Structure 1
Amino acid sequence: MKKLIIGLTGGIGSGKTAVSNRFKALGIHVVDADIAARTIVEPNQPAWHDIKDFFGPEVLLADHTLNRAWLRQQVFTDEAKRKQLEVFTHPRIRDEIIRDLISSTSAYTILASPLLIESGQVALVDNVIVVDVPEATQIERTCSRDDNDVEQVKRIIAAQISREKRLTHADWVIDNSLPLETLDTRVEALHQALLTNGQ
């Protein structure tokens, strides 16, 4: 029987990692699209070569890894460059994710991806969990966590799917503006429901 695959998504600063870490602690295999995205752009990987050739030497740090802060600045101020970066990365991220999903041996599998819906990765999952917080909370958390300025965070939020549209894809919503100490209980309840669904 086909394994149940659950998508986990949410806007920047919504707390997807806090939620996915709790699923991991319950013994569930979590495929992290952000890790897949980093893997495919490691030095000398095909996507790395494409990005270097397109953006030029400034895109690399001294150790030949991508200068992510510089690249982020480029793509969030220029739509054409962002689209080109997606051409280089999205199909390869998808392939990496599929490899990881196939290797999973847990009762069901979580695919955690900030761009689950926008990238079309939603086609890989059976159901969707959306981690949701108000935009003001996203901005506050991201600024304090990543040392980003408010305008940069607002641009990132604007480049992601709108909160309203994301919620239309949700089979379950985890309101992550509630106290953190209640998160364990809420994830555990969802875990039990998914174990039942997956049988």
Structure 2
Amino acid sequence: MKKLVSIATISLLALTISACGNSNDKKGSNNSSSSSKVVNNSKVTMNHYQAIKLSSMMDNSGGDNEKTVKNILGKPSRVTTSETNGKKMVTYTWDKLNTSFKAKNVNVGFNDGKAMTKSYANLDLNQMKPLDQSKVKTIKSGTSYKDVISKLGTPSSESEAGSGNMAMKEAMYITSTKGDATGFTFMGGNVSQISSNKIK
């Protein structure tokens, strides 16, 4: 159990770091056509992001494969590979997001061809409206993800790893123009940890 949590934490951290990477690479275009999924000849929306299904960290079952993810999000802007504890992770990044999706880019990480992690990175600080910190303080340990979203709205950035009871998620909310932020870590759909962060 502890080993699985450790792997999930490492995967989530790796995905978060890759989400903050340089976005000046040569960009791809979203020219995918699909008969099975909704996508898109337009820019990526939050609905597209939410449609990506992740696999289980216990046996890698379920989860969308690379072809399905490309059908949903279109052609990625770039592809990177990394290795952690002998596990190879391939991460696809999409930089062309719909203006309604208040994020810099979307990342999906694959393990053995199955989507295991996904995230979206926050916009630059000068493009975001900070959330009132008094609202953030109303969230306590044990609060469900659904209730957090209902009270605080869409996070500034989000990372997710795995599915089911072992799923881990981190939602970040910017609370000042100086980059102060509060992060909520969810295990099994409920807040398990609350942390203060600084976004540059």
TM superposition score category, shorter chain reference: under 0.3
| Bigger CA radius of gyration | 1
More strand as a share of residues: 2
Q: What TM-score, normalized to structure 1? A: 0.25
More helix as a share of residues: 1
Q: What TM-score, normalized to structure 2? A: 0.25
